[in-house]
Chain A
Amino acid sequence: MNADHHVILRVVSKGLIPIIILFAFYVQFHGDFGPGGGFQAGVIIAVAVILYALVFGVPAAMRAVPPAFTRSLAAIGVMIYAGVGFWAMLQGGNYLEYQALFHEPPGEHHGQHIGIMVIEIGVLFGVSGAMLTIFYAFAGRVAEIRDEDW
């Protein structure tokens, strides 16, 4: 980048973005025990990429996380979620009946844990992909965020 008076912003956000993404994964996989889950984690991941785009420019963010990837990610997320339903049906249960995933009697929780984990990953993919697609749709229309825009 050119003559750069956002150097503090860049340095600080470079350190912060990995931590934000790490926190998103904590929120994702800790959703069973505390507040949080796929939706929140997906939004946090999307915000980390958007922060990168706001500080380093949209083209840099698009090169790191291409728009084709984000929109595929959104579709794949919904497919993962719906796929768990079909998995349960293949095991002989109803749609999205996690208890049927491993043919467990009521009171055993393996299927519930795995099922919820997988659909939360689907939600994570779907939400972060859709949010980034929306952001790119808006921000991709301007070539670069100029200094006067701050």
Chain B
Amino acid sequence: MQGVLANDMGIALVNIFLLAILFVVAVAIARMRSLFAIVMLSGIYSLVSATWYVAVDAVDVAFTEAAVGAGMSTAVLLGAMLLTSRTAKPEHLFSRIGPMLVCVATGAALIYATVDLPALGDPNSAANTGVGYTYLEINWYDTGIPNVVTPVLASYRGFDTLGETTVVFTAGLAVALLLGFGERSLAEMIRREDKGGARTKGKGQVPTAAKDEEPS
């Protein structure tokens, strides 16, 4: 009994510690003006939340968060940051009041909603009694795959995952159609290099094609 109690205490401390880091990072992001620091801090935010997902036993979610949130979106935001200025404009005090009210109202609604949520790992909660429990029971007979997340994702919910893959593909296609494939600057640069021979390209020498397509 003593051991169980101490274990619960340790988990609670880990949760409080990680959530406190998340809170501090979020406040720092909200107060910061340098976009580079904000991108880095949002990567740290994702990494800490991935750690927290591991602490609540959601390993697959943690993996995805670490790969997408901390890796991919940080890299894409760094790429996007090159197109804009390095710092955010400071706003007036009055223009902050509206967003502040929205945040407080949303936060209050969410905290009110948590009152009705079942406790973490509650065996009688809706997530653990319905189809989720059935998957855990029949998965081994049906598919013979040890990690139950993979058959749920790919076999039982194969249609959903096909839809998700299509969504990702459509997102890539839409961005490419809106922004262009980014090939024009490359083609220009390769042509220049091939014509000019080896390594004549200097620093800060921007190809003309890339200049032409800058947003006005």
B interface, size bucket:
35 or more
What total count of A-B pairs have CB within 8 Å?
209
Complex CA gap A75/B170 in Å reads 9
Interface SS majority for chain A: helix
CB-CB < 8 A to B142: which residues of A?
Answer: 106, 112
Asked if A6 is at the interface (CB within 8 A of a chain B CB), the reply is no
Complex CA gap A131/B165 in Å reads 12
Q: Is the CB of A140 within 8 A of B185?
A: yes
As a 0/1 sequence over residues 129 to 141 of chain A, the CB contacts with chain B under 8 angstroms (1 = contact) are 1110111111111
As a 0/1 sequence over residues 1 to 41 of chain A, the CB contacts with chain B under 8 angstroms (1 = contact) are 01000000000000000000000000100011111110110
Question: With A50-B75, A119-B158, A130-B171 in contact, is A113–B145 under 8 Å at CB?
Answer: yes
Query: Using a CB-CB cutoff of 8 Å, which residues 130-149 of chain B contact chain A?
Result: 141-147, 149
Q: Is the CB of B186 within 8 A of A142?
A: no
Asked if B13 is at the interface (CB within 8 A of a chain A CB), the reply is no
CB-CB < 8 A to B144: which residues of A?
Answer: 109, 112-113
Q: Is the CB of A137 within 8 A of B175?
A: yes
CB-CB < 8 A to B186: which residues of A?
Answer: 58-59, 62-63, 67, 140
Asked if B83 is at the interface (CB within 8 A of a chain A CB), the reply is yes
Nearest CB in chain A: distance from B126 CB, A = 24
Interface residues of A (CB under 8 A from B): 2, 27, 31-37, 39-40, 43-44, 46-47, 50-51, 53-54, 58-59, 62-63, 67-68, 71, 74-75, 77-78, 81-82, 85, 95-96, 98, 106-107, 109, 112-113, 115-116, 119-120, 122-123, 126-127, 129-131, 133-147, 149
